[in-house]
């Protein structure tokens, strides 16, 4: 199983340790590619819309390329972020903006419709699930059919000062989730994803997309004539 992990932080704190615990509990043989933000993609979207014509036109394409490839190749995607002011970290938000053309409303990647994903967040007090939610929404709009969201209040500013009882909860929960993810089943594309895809196909058909290149992208793949990426 190929796993790509995108960390919304450079440091190996509580959130990183949750993901590490999860990876240790995935018992099928796996190959992990880990990226840290902002270390591995230190840019903000400039809003130039050059990517709407072609992703190659993004001024940060060279730095995005390796991550893009790893995202497409993976069977399982893992995203982590600490809760920063009830939201994902700023580097994670920047990442989300830099990959916005992956949304079903623009140029969805066929590869996404067969993946599973996990979004992990920790917080000191409240808001871990709230911080993870925008990433979950992004993945839903990328077309990922099965998304697990894990958020935990750890009552700490880092792994080293986390209460032992919280560490025990993480170990227990990641054992459970790791076991589930060790079974390599192709996830079903659910009603929500099918509905979104159909709606966006209708939008492209009516020329309500963001660029003519976007419509051609859909046309070339037969998606405007009933073909679906999860059936290819």
Ligand X SMILES: Cc1cc2nc3c(=O)[nH]c(=O)nc-3n(C[C@H](O)[C@H](O)[C@H](O)COP(=O)(O)O)c2cc1C
Does the footprint of ligand X cover residue 199 (CB under 6 A)? no
Alpha carbon distance 189, 231 (integer Å): 10
- Name the residue nearer to ligand X (CB basis): 82 or 229: 82
Q: Which helix (H) or strand (E) holds 98?
A: helix 90-98
> Residue 168: CB partners within 8 Å, gap ≥ 6?
none
> Residue 177: CB partners within 8 Å, gap ≥ 6?
22, 25, 118, 148, 150
Q: Which of residues 52-91 bind ligand X (CB under 6 A)?
A: 82-86
Q: From residue 14 to residue 53, what is the string marking binding to ligand X with x (rule CB under 6 A)?
A: xxx-------------------------------------
Q: Which residue is nearest to ligand X (CB)?
A: 13
- Residue length of the chain: 232
Return the number of other C-beta atoms located less than 10 Å from residue 11's C-beta.
13
Question: If binding means CB under 6 A, how many residues of this protein chain bind ligand X?
Answer: 19
Residue 76, both tokens: 């399982």
In the bound complex, what is the minimum distance in angstroms from residue 15's beta carbon to ligand X?
3
Does the footprint of ligand X cover residue 123 (CB under 6 A)? yes
Candidate ranges 24-32, 116-124, 178-186, 215-223; the one touching ligand X (CB under 6 A):
116-124
Q: Which of residues 154-183 bind ligand X (CB under 6 A)?
A: 154, 157-158
In the bound complex, what is the minimum distance in angstroms from residue 157's beta carbon to ligand X?
5
Does the footprint of ligand X cover residue 126 (CB under 6 A)? yes
Alpha carbon distance 120, 163 (integer Å): 19
Does the CA dihedral 36-40-45-50 come out positive or negative? negative
Which positions touch ligand X (CB under 6 A)?
Answer: 9, 13-16, 82-86, 122-127, 154, 157-158
């Amino acid at each position: 199983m190929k796993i790509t992990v995108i960390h919304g932080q450079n440091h190996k704190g509580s959130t990183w340790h949750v993901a590490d615990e999860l990876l240790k509990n995935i018992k099928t043989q796996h190959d992990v590619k880990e990226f840290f933000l902002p270390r591995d993609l230190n840019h903000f979207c400039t809003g130039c819309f050059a990517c709407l014509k072609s992703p190659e036109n993004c001024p940060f394409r060279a730095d995005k390329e390796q991550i893009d490839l790893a995202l497409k190749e993976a069977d399982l995607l893992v995203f982590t972020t600490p809760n920063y002011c009830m939201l994902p970290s700023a580097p994670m938000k920047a990442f989300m903006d830099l990959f916005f053309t992956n949304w079903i409303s623009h140029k969805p990647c066929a590869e996404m419709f067969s993946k599973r994903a996990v979004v992990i967040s920790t917080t000191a007090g409240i808001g871990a699930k709230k911080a993870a939610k925008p990433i979950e929404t992004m993945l839903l709009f990328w077309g990922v059919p099965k998304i697990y969201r894990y958020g935990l209040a750890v009552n700490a500013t880092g792994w080293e000062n986390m209460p032992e009882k919280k560490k025990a909860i993480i170990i227990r929960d990641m054992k459970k989730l790791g076991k589930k993810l060790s079974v390599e089943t192709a996830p079903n594309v659910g009603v929500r994803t099918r509905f979104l895809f159909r709606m966006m196909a209708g939008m492209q058909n009516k020329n309500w997309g963001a660029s003519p290149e976007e419509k051609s992208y859909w046309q070339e793949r037969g998606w405007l004539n009933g073909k679906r990426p999860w059936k290819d």
